[in-house]
Structure 1
């Protein structure tokens, strides 16, 4: 769905982003680029070593390319840095042919002497897979998303056949492999840059001063304030239409809308739902919306002895009035979640006997579990809105009120980020969060959140591990029979609805509001796309 308002171009003037720029910079950013406003935390620019972070995904999609991308129309993996691929009869050997003449960024620190080749691809994945790789332990030394899907078990080897051919050998047939290579995490680094940094004993800079093949390169970074990217003129698909993009990461909530209305922001993503009428009614703005493959949920910390009782988790689930959430938080733009998978998924199974609103049954389950009310619980609540939850604080307050009706006092704890240690050390019982899928494959919503590997990687905030669940996941990705895969995913959803390590709440819509003069954005239910084709259409004189 796309809502486009009438175009009315406003005059632009000199822009000063909250005093972040040096006084000597006089050019108007809007004349040569645009300002993208989204709050978030950025420490490293390499998504391989980060967990899910929408602002980092948007930035890294401009700096790096991947072998494959998810086509926004077919929703299937399609060519990118790899122009083609072949799979052998066993389904375990994938051979990729690379695009020729793909240039890496030139920076103050590094000037490449050659185009991207197979050795760069091998280095990019060997860093993840091989503990002996000199860069494996650099910076965090962890690869949360790859660990959560057990990537090191999935891939046995990666090798360069020749300069433009790379071969991946898998441990077993895997229907999810191509989708994994198309996620925002599977970026390609420069081996030559890594060698330069190692020679000057500055390996950590590979993730702080990144070099990729994307349409833009890093120019300026001020933590908690801004990230400025400049056009990569040697981009293999031709130079981007705009010469710079500035990410304003300092605003949140209503502040972003105010900046958009004052033309201090050109793009705002995930606006609060209550702001949508203001945006729609403004002739200077365009509002895009895209059905997203996502889910908002409560993760139950199953390491807590009390919450290991499934009856208590079921009681929490039955006490939540999801229709109130949809009306009050999503302004009817979202839908109630009956499963972790959204209705658009080809594997969706809806068994509403589990996911429903039933206060009497919830109270009965607490009594059966021997719980004496009032019961005291804590829930961590993020500060930033997201496509799966446009107002976490308001959602948390509604859930808090719902829980009180069955005798549960819920204390809300708000902060920007939650680490695994904080989850354990701060005695947090519940986490209000969600997930945006990277592909249309159901595995991309189930495995990173709920597999035993996800728990070990610190990616699965429910701290849940179920061997039957993992066995079914593995069966689903190995069989090529669609009918069998659907049946297995229905079994997985039924198991989750019975156990409820996470309590699904709602499926949201992905929104983007921008100045009507900007054209060329690609919206997808999955990854953020590059801004290569974005252009500002100036008003005819």
Structure 2
């Protein structure tokens, strides 16, 4: 999304509000708000355009609402902007009744004249699925998360039946559709604001100057410094206790742990494993943890001459010491992965095991014709993630393990992964150390974007792998709403993965968050998103 990044950088000067004090020395922030420290810089304020990162994980839930949200305990879709819904007997029509009390935010660049209605929902989703929509090509015209789910192929039509009733017509039954609408990507924009931008011929501002109906609105953005959100007094679920939230996105001075200790930050998102003991010993901080719906894995290019051999892929899996990985990288906090789905998933196969057997791996290498080994490149994104707190250390352990069976691994370090670029260079990749954080609780969200045939072109299938039987099991699983039948289908699909091994599951990480003990109401989600609508500070 290079064009998008250039577009945002060209327009951020409009957001640099004159006369604002340095938030890091402004006591009023802590009196009436808090400072959040987390990795990453936004390249847009519209989560529809992203495939993760700060915008989707931390900003989207503050600025925007969705039709649905995920219950924090059951992980099932519950009302948000939609207060109720019905599904047709054939599973292809979803009709939503909207709440009438939701209002859009008042910002320096837009004053709404009406509340949220069906027109806004139709606009927000037609932009994604209609290539002739006036906003479809704005900011690059790519919607990576929705493309990975084949959203435009699934949704045939979105229409307003009246001011507060919206109907989605699908091309095929999909019982995971409600969960899809509950993700932080499926946000609702203001159609009235979009029309204003269309008249002014400034369409791209919809992505750089957002207007949502969430608990906070964007007040200020200084690239490489801060993002300031202010309280939306008209929020339908009651105004937030906090007046403002300031995101420290600077790269100045000391690291994030030092900022927490010196009180420059009130919340530290995703502290790395080696920092946990320091935080736990300080009574001024509270360390929270949440078992993550995530997985770290090694993606193998199945078109590579050696990696195309099943015995070689099996040997790689047997050669990796996952227990050592958990101890040295995750400091004992993670879980060895036996498959793509984590233990908290209802489709997890508890009978599956992984083995560490270098001698058997050496035998498989010889059987495949690689008795003397071979050399491969391993692309390593260096940015720590909840599923992999230290990618470089993980890569070095894998490098050492594979050397023992004759595979020479050349590490290619990169700050982060541009998945679009990776898809364009699939044939030139040997192995990629990567991972996934689920966006909802449905197993389809783990398997379809990463491993289906269609995902080679629209998703994140970095293994160049395609198995039609695997795809058929997934398609059958979303066509029935019987949980037991769905689980059986997903178990069979996972059986194909274990047999063919296009990826090597490594570990499931735990998501940690540290906060000042005076803050209450900050929760963790296994999906990475978080809302600050109920955060308050004790005195």
The normalised TM-score by structure 1 is 0.91
1:120-178 deviations in whole A, cap 9, x for unaligned? 00111101111111111111211111111111222221100000110111222211010
The verdict on how the C-alpha distance between 1:56 and 1:222 changes in structure 2, with shifts beyond 3 A counting, is: farther
Distance 2:226 2:22 in 1: 17
Map 1:47-446 to 2 at 5 A: 47-54=47-54, 56-250=56-250, 255-350=255-350, 352=352, 355-371=354-370, 373-419=372-418, 420-422=420-422, 424=425, 427-446=428-447
CA distance in 2, matches of 1:458, 1:316: 25
CA distance in 2 between partners of 1:284 and 1:348 (Å): 38
2:4 paired residue number: none
Evaluate the alpha carbon distance shift between residue 303 and residue 229 of structure 1 in structure 2; reply closer, same or farther with a 3 A threshold: farther
Deviation at 1:461, TM superposition (A): 2.6
CA pair 131-303 structure 1, distance change in 2 beyond 3 A = farther
Cα distance in structure 1, aligned partners of 2:124 and 2:72: 25
SS in 2 for 1:452: coil
CA distance in 1, matches of 2:226, 2:471: 41
Most deviating of 440-449 and 427-436: 427-436
- The structural deviation recorded for 1:24 is 7.2
Gaps of 5+ in 1: 1-19
The structural deviation recorded for 1:303 is 4.2
Total equivalences in the alignment: 518
How far did 1:225 drift? 3.2
Tell me the residue number matched to 1:447. Answer: 448
Contact 1:65 1:188 in 2 (8 A): yes
CA distance in 2, matches of 1:422, 1:152: 22
How far is the alpha carbon of 1:229 from its aligned partner?
1.2
Change (3 A) 1:55 1:138: closer
Most deviating of 49-58 and 469-478: 49-58
In structure 1, what is the Cα distance between the partners aligned to 2:260 and 2:348?
Answer: 37
1:531 corresponding residue in structure 2? 532
How many angstroms does 1:373 deviate by? Answer: 3.5
Deviation, 1:374, is 4.6
Partner of 2:496: 495
CA deviation digits over 1:276-317, x for unaligned, max 9?
A: 111111000001111111111111233434322222222211
For the residue of structure 2 that corresponds to 1:478, the secondary structure is coil
- 4+ aligned runs moved over 4 Å, structure 1: 20-26, 251-254, 350-353
Paired with 2:382 and 2:519, the residues of 1 have a C-alpha distance of: 29
Residues 387 and 254 of structure 1: CA distance in aligned 2, closer, same or farther (over 3 Å) = farther
Task: Give the TM-score, by structure 2 length.
Answer: 0.92
Asked whether the 8 Å contact 1:149–1:453 carries over to 2, the reply is: no
Distance 2:246 2:358 in 1: 49
Change (3 A) 1:113 1:484: same
TM-fit CA distance, 1:344: 1.6
Shift of 1:422: 4.8
Distance, in Å, in 2 between the alignment partners of 1:173 and 1:281 is 52
Distance (whole Å) between structure 2 residues aligned to residue 499 and residue 477 of structure 1: 23
For the 8 Å contact 2:455–2:461, the answer to whether it is kept is yes
Question: 1:406/1:414 Cα in 2 relative to 1: closer, same or farther (>3 Å)?
Answer: same
**Which segment drifts farther, 219-228 or 105-114?**
219-228
1:366-403 per-residue CA deviation (whole Å, 9 max, x = no partner) reads 22222254522122222222211122121111111111
Q: Distance in 2 between matches of 1:421 and 1:439?
A: 25
**Following TM superposition, by how much is the alpha carbon of 1:536 offset from its aligned partner in structure 2, in angstroms?**
1.1
